[in-house]
Structure 1
Amino acid sequence: MRGSVEKVIRAWWSAEFGTLGAAFSIVTAPFSWFWICLVWLRDQQFSRFPGKQVDGLVVVSVGNLAVGGTGKTPVVAWVARVIADAGFPTCVLTSTRGKDEALLHRGWNKGVPVVVNSDRISGAMYAQKQGAKVVILDDGFQHRRIGRALDIVLLSAEDPYPGRLLPTGPYREGRSALSRADVLVVTRRIAPISRALELEEELERRFPGKLKGHLHLAPGSWTMFDGEPVELGSTDVLAVCAVARSEVFKAIVTEKLNGMVELAVFGDHHEYSRIEVMKLRQRAGKRPIVMTEKDAVKLRSYQEVLGEAYTLTEEMKWDWGQTELDKHIRSVVGQALTA
Structure 2
Amino acid sequence: MIFHDARLLHHWRVGGGGVLRGALTLLGYPIASSYSAVMALRNSHYDRVGGQKIPGVKVVSVGNLVVGGTGKTPFSAWVAKELKVRDLSPAIVSRGYGRDELVLHNKWNPDTPVVADSDRLKAASLAGLEGADIVVLDDGFQHRRIARDFDIVLLSAEDGFPGYLLPTGPYREPVQSLRRADAVLVTRRTAPCLVAEKILAQVRGIAPEALTAAIHLSPFAWQDLRGFPATPPDGNILAVAAVARPIEFSQSIANMVTGTVELMSFPDHHDYRSDDIKKICLAARERTIAVTEKDAVKLAQYDDILGEVRVLVERVRWESGRQEIERALDKLAGATA
- TM superposition score normalised by structure 2: 0.95
The answer to whether the 8 A contact 1:13-1:168 is kept is no
CA–CA separation in structure 1 for the residues paired with 2:73 and 2:14 = 23
Number of residue pairs matched?
Answer: 337
- Aligned residue for 1:231? 231
The answer to whether the 8 A contact 1:149-1:333 is kept is no
Alpha-carbon distance change, 112 to 270 in structure 1, aligned in 2, over 3 angstroms: same
Alpha-carbon distance change, 12 to 323 in structure 1, aligned in 2, over 3 angstroms: closer
SS of equivalent to 2:98 = helix
SS of equivalent to 1:198 = helix
Structure 1: give runs of 5+ residues left out of the alignment: none
Question: What code does the residue aligned with 1:48 have?
Answer: R
Q: Indicate yes or no: 2:242 matched with 1:272.
A: no
Deviation digits for residues 132-187 of structure 1, max 9, x if unmatched? 11110000000111111110011111111111111111110001111111111111
SS of equivalent to 2:19 = helix
SS of equivalent to 1:290 = strand
SS of equivalent to 2:275 = helix
CA–CA separation in structure 2 for the residues paired with 1:217 and 1:13 = 18
CA–CA separation in structure 1 for the residues paired with 2:12 and 2:64 = 20
- Aligned residue for 1:44? 44
The answer to whether the 8 A contact 2:182-2:209 is kept is no
Q: Provide the identity percentage.
A: 41
Q: Indicate yes or no: 2:194 matched with 1:194.
A: yes
Question: What code does the residue aligned with 1:56 have?
Answer: G
- Aligned residue for 2:87? 87
- Aligned residue for 1:27? 27
- Aligned residue for 2:221? 221
- Aligned residue for 2:286? 286
Q: Which range is displaced more, 28-37 or 218-227? A: 218-227
Q: CA RMSD in A?
A: 1.8
- TM superposition score normalised by structure 1: 0.94
Q: Which range is displaced more, 15-24 or 161-170? A: 15-24
Deviation (angstroms), 1:55: 0.8
SS of equivalent to 1:240 = strand
- Aligned residue for 1:104? 104
- Aligned residue for 2:65? 65
- Aligned residue for 1:207? 207
Structure 2: give runs of 5+ residues left out of the alignment: none
Q: Which range is displaced more, 169-178 or 234-243? A: 234-243
Alpha-carbon distance change, 169 to 16 in structure 1, aligned in 2, over 3 angstroms: same
Deviation (angstroms), 1:15: 4.4
**Matches of residues 256-335 of structure 1 in structure 2 within 5 Å?**
256-335=256-335
Deviation digits for residues 262-289 of structure 1, max 9, x if unmatched? 2111111112123322321122121111
Alpha-carbon distance change, 258 to 185 in structure 1, aligned in 2, over 3 angstroms: same
CA–CA separation in structure 2 for the residues paired with 1:201 and 1:16 = 20
Q: Which range is displaced more, 4-13 or 251-260? A: 4-13
